[in-house]
């Protein structure tokens, strides 16, 4: 397993990935051209400032996909708030046309899922067979 997948906070080792998707208000197709480029820059800046690692990202005209590795104390809602809050403020300041489509840039909702290098099935199987390993030794 590549070392870059692991973080070493005091007292532990972790690999916590978060897959997040969010959309502009009313799913308007406003994330193209210069707006998409600037959004991409902002996402990278925010990740660096928080010590997060963006593994993959894609800015579509009407939604954003982001796979980011976060720390053990980073709650999904806080991660999303950091990305959506700053990007909305900066993009609406720099691109005045974004103020025309709604009072806010982003829809209040989002999708978030944890992503790991070990599948749910593998973890379940490992836990369920612990006694088999103990009895066999």
| DSSP assignment of the chain | --GGG-B--TT--B-EEEEEEE-BGGG-----HHHHHHHHHHHHHHHHHHT-EEEEEEEETTEEEEEEEE-TT--HHHHHHHHHHHHHHHHHHH-TTHHHH-SSSB-S--EEEEE-SS-HHHHHHHHHTHHHHHHH-
List 19, 26, 117, 126, catalytic entry: 126
Annotation marks residue 117 as catalytic: no
Active-site residue list: 126
């Amino acid at each position: 397993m590549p070392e870059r997948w692991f973080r070493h906070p005091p007292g532990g080792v972790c690999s916590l990935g978060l897959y997040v998707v969010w959309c502009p208000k009313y799913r308007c197709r406003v994330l193209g051209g210069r707006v998409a480029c600037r959004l991409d820059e902002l996402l990278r800046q925010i990740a660096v400032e928080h010590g997060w690692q963006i593994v993959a990202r894609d800015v579509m005209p009407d939604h954003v996909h982001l796979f980011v590795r976060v720390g053990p104390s980073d709650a999904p809602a806080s991660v999303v708030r950091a990305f959506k809050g700053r990007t909305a403020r900066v993009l609406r300041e720099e691109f005045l046309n974004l103020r025309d489509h709604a009072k806010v840039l982003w829809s209040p909702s989002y999708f978030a899922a944890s992503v790991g290098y070990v599948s749910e099935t593998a973890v379940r199987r490992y836990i369920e067979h612990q006694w088999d390993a103990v009895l066999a030794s």
